[in-house]
Structure 1
Amino acid sequence: MKDEPEEAELLLHGALRLAHESGNKEAITYTYDLEDNAIIEISLKLATIYAAQNRQELALAGYEFCISTLEGKVEREKELSEDTLSVEEKANTHLLLGMCLDTYARYLLFSKQPAEAQKVYEKALQIAEEILGERHPQTIVLLSDLATALDAQGRSDEACVHAQRAADLARQVEHPELHVLLSNLAAVLMHRERYTQAEEIYQEALTRAKLKRDEVSVQHIREELAQLSRQRSALL
């Protein structure tokens, strides 16, 4: 009420931890009820900040809090009639869960936990496909991210299927981040030692990145092309 959401968030985390430790189900439920979608969004942002600060314990607590809270909320909302809660409101809660899963998966991938990231990405992708459809830009990005998680585990064949599908869909819908998705596909192909095809796709991605004036992507793709050249030369 005093507009101090960060302090409120820390207190709620502490309350929830104590409630879980004591097995007090009523307290757990009450604490969750305090968390409407807006507060959960704040909690997600704080968890991301903690992750950036390398405060892993707080980051994990935040991500797990958001996901477990929303999973319970989604299940409870399924039982509510449309007179009580609209289809749109239910979908918004479900999509927020998907966003939390996506953010957590990226954290896991960055933390060198690709197998765990893969599982979380699969859940996020399922929600996106169900609510938004397979041709939605966010669904396509999640498909490509899932490919990255698989590729990081050395499962390049599976990764290639997903990355190719993401690139194909991105072309069909004129995805604004097509150059990024093409770059991801090229990376998977490079790891499979399909250098000629990878180079072609990298070059297309580079052209598109320049047109978008995405200097970060341009630099990344150039570095990847240099790496590809070194790997190809090593085989000669």
Structure 2
Amino acid sequence: MAVSCVRGVSLRASRLLSTQLPRVVGLQTSSTATPRQLTRKHLGCWAKEAWGGRSCVWAAAAFSFLLASDEDAQGKEDEMILLLKKAKLSILRGQLEAASRFLHSAVALAHQSNNHQAIVYAYSQMANLAYIQGQMDHAEKLFKATMSFMLAGGMPQDDNAFIEMSLKLAAMYAEQNKAELAEHGFTFCLDTLEVKVQRLQETPEADRTGETSLLVMVTKIDGMCEDEQEVLRKDTRLLLGLCLDSRARYRASTLHFKQAVADYEKALSICRQEQGESHPQTLVLMSDLATILDMQGRHDDALALIRQAVDLGRSSEHSELHVLVGNMAGILLHTGQLDEAVRFYGEALRLAQQAGDQNAVGRIKEGLSQVKKRKDE
């Protein structure tokens, strides 16, 4: 499908994989640009905040298990815990070389002490780090090694932790334009999760496996009080939404807009049900879906959806309101409502400047210049 109808500037929020780095707002200007492009910078940030705080449950549980034994542990275990803490802090600070050294030392100690959870956690972080540094082949080997350790430890392939790691690989293949591997990865994740969601709805709580206990431990650490069945159900549905969101972005990047819309609509439905109408991620998905509808030439549908997102973003004081308002201005530009586009671009510019988002400022100014060009034609 042609995308020549898309002439303006669309703003997209960006975020990806799992070390809990801050979610970043990104902007695109190309007519074939798509929502929240996959970028190496954002591996380490798999939407823990955006998709409800349950992402990377296995990593959180593994690390929290280590922390819980910190006071009583001695010798190598104490040293290993300290190294993992230092590695995590170094990643958060962007000190990647230091983080790599700490992780290599930690994984050596983990193997010496035969601490399976520490091995899995350390390898996963090494994989994330290699990806961030652009070492794609090395990252792939480490992701696969982590998954092998998971399976060797008795983890079933439908465990949310294993599926999440599979999703990381699929997203990495998508970024590398390895279409067959990416599609296979996304299909595995989605098919497995859909079956699991159905099973969770039908299986009594008493028959559930040890995965529930892992999730309950995490919720207790986080101070939550949901019952076991609800914890696992919600975590699984949110992971399903995250998979749909990731595949939608990939499909949009390959110009398969119809399929991308279908995935976005399903992801948005899950997010609304589990997170609420005004949740930040709900609004981001509404904006992304509006962007794709706009690319399809469905400008009226796109405008109605982005207006709703902007209104909800105002009432909830969305941290990326300038992104939502800027997207609305771009869609108004495409519908020929140039004066309205200027008004909303102006508001988006003020909000972006207040937020200190210089990338957004530049893109919004480019949008304003496109409005001027259209007026002069």
**TM-score (normalizing by structure 2):** 0.54
How far off its partner does 1:8 sit?
5.3
More helix by percentage: 1
Give the match for residue 126 of structure 1. 269
Larger radius of gyration: 2
Aligned to 2:338: 195
Q: Does 1:161 align with 2:284?
A: no
After TM superposition, give the deviation of residue 163 of structure 1 in Å: 0.5
RMSD: 1.9
Give 2:279's match in structure 1, choosing from 136, 145, 150. Answer: 136
- Shift of residue 130 of structure 1? 1.0
> 1: CA distance between counterparts of 2:171 and 2:353?
30
What's the counterpart of residue 45 of structure 1? 168
SS of the residue 1:66 aligns to: helix
2:316 counterpart residue number: 173
- What is the distance in 2 between the residues matched to 1:157 and 1:116? 19
Aligned residues with identical type, % of pairs: 44
* TM superposition shift of 1:44: 1.3
Asked if 1 retains the 8 angstrom alpha-carbon contact of 2:190 and 2:240, the reply is: yes
User: May I ask how many residue pairs the two structures share in their alignment?
Assistant: 214
Q: How far off its partner does 1:125 sit?
A: 0.7
Given that residues 147 and 162 in structure 2 are in contact (C-alpha distance below 8 angstroms), is that contact kept between their aligned partners in structure 1?
no
Q: Write out per-residue CA displacement over residues 34-84 of structure 1, whole angstroms, 9 at most, x where no aligned residue.
A: 231112111111111111112122111111111111111111111123444
Q: Which segments of 5 or more consecutive residues in structure 1 lack a partner in the other structure?
A: 12-31
Retained in 2: the 8 A contact 1:163–1:185?
yes
Q: Are 2:280 and 1:146 equivalent residues in the alignment? A: no
Q: CA deviation at 1:216?
A: 1.7
Supply the AA of the counterpart residue of 2:184.
A
- Alignment deviations for residues 79-126 of structure 1 (CA, whole Å, 9 cap, x no partner): 123444511210110011001111111111121121111111110011
The structure 1 segments of at least 4 consecutive aligned residues displaced by more than 4 Å after TM superposition are 1-5, 8-11
What's the secondary structure of 1:112's corresponding residue? coil
Provide the secondary structure at the position in 2 that maps to 1:86. Answer: helix
- Which residue identity is paired with 1:80? T
- 1:1-236 alignment to 2 at 5 Å? 3=120, 6-7=143-144, 33-83=156-206, 84=208, 85-234=228-377
Q: Which residue matches 1:27? A: none
CA distance in 1 between counterparts of 2:290 and 2:251 reads 14
Counterpart of 2:349, as a letter, is: L
When the two structures are superposed, what TM-score results if normalisation uses the length of structure 1?
0.85
**Cα deviation, residue 142, structure 1:** 0.9
Tell me the amino acid that sits aligned with residue 357 of structure 2: D
